[in-house]
Chains A and B, each alone.
Chain A
Amino acid sequence: MAVKFQHLISNIININRDFLYLSSANKHLIYKSFYATVKMGDEKPVENAIRTKLTEALKPEYIEVINESYMHNVPKGTESHFKVVIVSSAFENVKRIEKHQLVHKAIQEELDHSIHALSIVAKTPKEWEVSKEVGQSPACRGGAGL
């Protein structure tokens, strides 16, 4: 317990230290990651929450949650930009927009409070068989904290 608490405190101190060097544009991202860290007390709270909630909601045959925040102008360890690859029979006979909305709905809390950018590859098992291609996310153009 003591170790965990110490870890938590050191997280807070680190984040505060990072915070001081940040441009104003990135502040709200830091607030988000700060609260997420404090709330869950683990190292990848958002990534883990996304995986758990999507697994519960959509019973995927395959799921991959990739933290792509490192590609953007945010401090190391930030959980702001994600890509989700999810294959589930819940997407059968569902329109494109609605597939994405099923994903949004399952992780609404994270979208509201933590996630800044989310790229989704949502396929049915049949579609996944045809193509397992997952495109590369576009390069950041500086607007990460905007």
Chain B
Amino acid sequence: MNAITRSVLSHNFRSSCQYVVFRAFSSEAKNINFDDLVKGKPIVVFMKGTPVAPRCGFSNAVCQILKHHGVKDFTSYDVLSDDAVREGIKKYTNWPTIPQVFFNGEFVGGCDIMLDMHKNGDLIKELQKVGIRSALLDAKDNSDGKS
């Protein structure tokens, strides 16, 4: 093993140790109340990136589905900007992946479930329950009117 390899490997080792220490402290130091983050809001999405600039295909898909239904405003949290939120939300919902979607404080699921609900029409009903009229209903009414 040459000197460069050794130094790179030891650097990797060092930085990974720092990462572990950082994570241990960051999740301990912050006691996040996830009830506060999700309750009292019609739609909350925990995602990677922001709705304007998603940084993961699955998070983007959730935003696109909501947009398709005419949902313009929803609360989103970027888990990449806060490691304590990223790890905490997984424990809160007992769900291992991001994105995670909440309607009226209730956990709905991730990207697969949103896509499923969109496909079989359940999403329109679920949006209605939280007081949002899906834009797809209006699109349907218009086309019905024309025919």
Q: Which A positions have Cβ atoms within 8 angstroms of B? A: 16, 19-20, 24, 27-28, 31, 96-97, 100-101, 104, 111-112, 115, 117-121, 135, 137-143, 146
Contact = CB atoms under 8 A, between A and B. Distances in A.
Contact of B96 (A16, A104, A121): A104
Interface of B: 5, 8-9, 12, 15-16, 19, 48-49, 54-61, 80, 94-97, 107-113, 115-117
Given A97-B113, A138-B58, A143-B56, A111 B96 contact: yes
A97 B107 contact: yes
What 5 pairs across the A-B complex have the smallest Cβ distances?
A138-B57, A143-B55, A143-B56, A138-B61, A111-B96
Contacts of A119: 58, 111-112
B60 A138 contact: yes
B57 to A, nearest CB: 3
Nearest to A115: B96
Contacts of A104: 95-96
Contacts of B16: 27-28, 31
B12 A141 contact: no
Contact of B94 (A31, A101, A120): A101
Centre residue among B19, B49, B57, B61 by max chain A CB count within 10 A? B57
A117 B99 CA distance: 10
B49 A24 contact: no
